[in-house]
């Protein structure tokens, strides 16, 4: 088993949120009031996908079996494809992707390091939780982009990526070592705070109240709970 030495001490557990928001509540959210202008939105989303690719590549390099390496390498390819598709959208808007992504690099780099975990299993769970939450979140925010652009961005972000292989590997690991479940459950809960900070940073500064955006974040927490439940872990 491979361990990293830059272990982050888990934060206190994030309080459990209210149950999943009703679809009618989420439908009332005016995403046009929340999403920033297309260029910064695409820049942040593109850099996040690059970070997911980097973590997946790390998971491939340290995977203990050939089947795991194969599955994770395919997932890494999806993340890289999403990154390239998003920077292609930036170029369609006439901007240089590197210049647009640069302001988001420091915070996103810190996020990647904070969610990488102490070993291979925590790395997998970190990718599974954060990529799943943020892909869905940015896809919802894309509803507030110009219609044609928003449709393309949602198609990019909604492509199935790492979830199946990550869930398979994690379930297998927990089945082989039931004691792993408690540690991963604690780690999974500690990921929520950092992920919510990234999610909130993607919102446009506006006069929207907390009540206006609460359905979006409640659904984000519900996404996390469903992923943890599928692994048999307490969220």
Task: Check residue 114 and give its pLDDT.
Answer: 94
Q: Distances from the Cα of 100 to the Cαs of 37, 108, 199, in angstroms?
A: 12, 14, 18
Q: How confident is the model at residue 182 (pLDDT cuts 50, 70, 90)?
A: very high
The dihedral sign for the CA sequence 118, 122, 128, 134: negative
With contact defined as beta carbons under 8 Å apart, do 39 and 19 qualify?
A: no
Q: Where are the alpha helices (H) located in the chain, listed in sequence order?
A: 23-27, 38-62, 66-92, 97-101, 105-114, 120-141, 147-157, 163-176, 180-201, 210-230
| Separation between Cα atoms, residue 199 and residue 217, nearest integer Å | 9
Q: What's the pLDDT tens digit per position in 105-126?
A: 999 999 999 999 999 999 999 9
The model's pTM is 0.85
> What fold, for 30-230?
Ferritin (1.20.1260)
Q: Where are the domains of the chain?
A: 30-230
């Amino acid at each position: 088993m491979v361990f990293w030495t830059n272990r982050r001490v888990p934060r206190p557990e994030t309080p459990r949120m209210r149950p999943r928001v009703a679809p009618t509540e989420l439908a009332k959210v005016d995403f046009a009031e929340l999403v920033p202008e297309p260029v910064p939105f695409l820049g942040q989303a593109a850099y996040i996908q690059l970070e997911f690719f980097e973590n997946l590549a790390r998971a491939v390099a340290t995977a203990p079996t050939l089947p795991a390496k194969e599955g994770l390498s395919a997932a890494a390819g999806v993340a890289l494809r999403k990154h390239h598709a998003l920077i292609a959208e930036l170029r369609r808007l006439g901007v240089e992707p590197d210049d647009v992504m640069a302001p988001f690099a420091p915070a996103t780099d810190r996020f990647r390091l904070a969610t990488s975990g102490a070993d291979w299993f925590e790395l997998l769970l970190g990718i599974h939780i954060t990529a799943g939450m943020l892909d869905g979140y940015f896809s919802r925010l894309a509803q507030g982009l110009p219609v044609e652009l928003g449709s393309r961005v949602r198609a990019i972000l909604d492509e199935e990526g790492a979830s199946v292989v990550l869930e398979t590997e994690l379930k297998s690991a927990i089945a082989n070592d039931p004691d792993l479940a408690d540690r991963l459950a604690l780690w999974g809960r500690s990921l929520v705070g950092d992920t919510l900070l990234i999610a909130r940073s993607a919102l446009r500064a506006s006069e929207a109240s907390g009540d206006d955006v609460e359905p979006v974040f409640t659904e984000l927490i519900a996404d996390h709970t469903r992923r943890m439940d599928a692994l048999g872990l307490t969220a």
